[in-house]
Structure 1
């Protein structure tokens, strides 16, 4: 099922709403000129996720039922039109609050090295590890305007 897409200047994580909704034409012009804009996938008020598109970076923020950013993927353009996921962050929240209790950050490099940092905030402690991974699934193409289905895939195997 194709989800509707809405456009805006950005998604306010603190206010949990779009800043300055834009008509598609304005967002498309920003896309063509490699200027920043945000695509909201699903509803403008309760999106499934948002896609921040800028000159050389694309960030996807997946939202939970309380509009908290529970999962984030950051991609960097490494060749013309070719993206590589450099980071993934998963956050845990305290019950029905916006208070982050901990999370895991994965940093990837193109050679297949993965660094993992698990953090707990009450009390604060952190664990780090390194591992190898197949970097092939971490590549993606820079999305065409309005075509975000591939970049918003949660599973990247």
Structure 2
């Protein structure tokens, strides 16, 4: 199934809406010049996720039914044409509010080391640990314009 793709200057997280909806031509020009732009997947008003695309980095924010960023992926270019998922963050919220109750970040290294940071906010507590993992599925190719399917896979394993 081909997903609908929309473009904008950026996704305004606090207001839960895009800034400056762009034409495909505007976004294609930004992509070619390695300038930042955002991609909205499925809808302009209620996207499944958004991508912040810039030179050498791509961020993916997965949105819940209240348009809160419940899962975030951060990819960095590790060699020409190859991205690596360096961090994944999952957040939990207080009911239907935007208040984050806790979150966990997984910071991945290419050698398989994974640093886990779990943070609770009321009362504040931080837990950290290290583990190792097979990170072969953390790699992705730098996307061609309009080809974002590999980056928006929630399951990476």
Counterparts of residues 24-103 of structure 1 (less than 5 Å) = 24-103=24-103
Q: Deviations over 1:90-133 (max 9, x none)?
A: 00000000000010011001111000011110100011110001
Unaligned runs of 5+ in 1: none
Q: Distance in 2 between matches of 1:148 and 1:106?
A: 22
1:39 counterpart SS class:
strand
Q: Distance in 2 between matches of 1:81 and 1:47?
A: 27
Q: Distance in 2 between matches of 1:137 and 1:149?
A: 14
TM-score by length of 1: 0.99
Q: Distance in 1 between matches of 2:144 and 2:124?
A: 41
Q: Deviations over 1:3-54 (max 9, x none)?
A: 1110000000000000000000000010111100000001000000001100
Aligned residues: 157
Q: Which runs of 4+ in 1 moved over 6 A?
A: none
**Corresponding position: 1:145 with 2:136:** no
Q: Deviations over 1:55-91 (max 9, x none)?
A: 0100000000000000000000011110001100000
Q: Distance in 2 between matches of 1:52 and 1:145?
A: 13
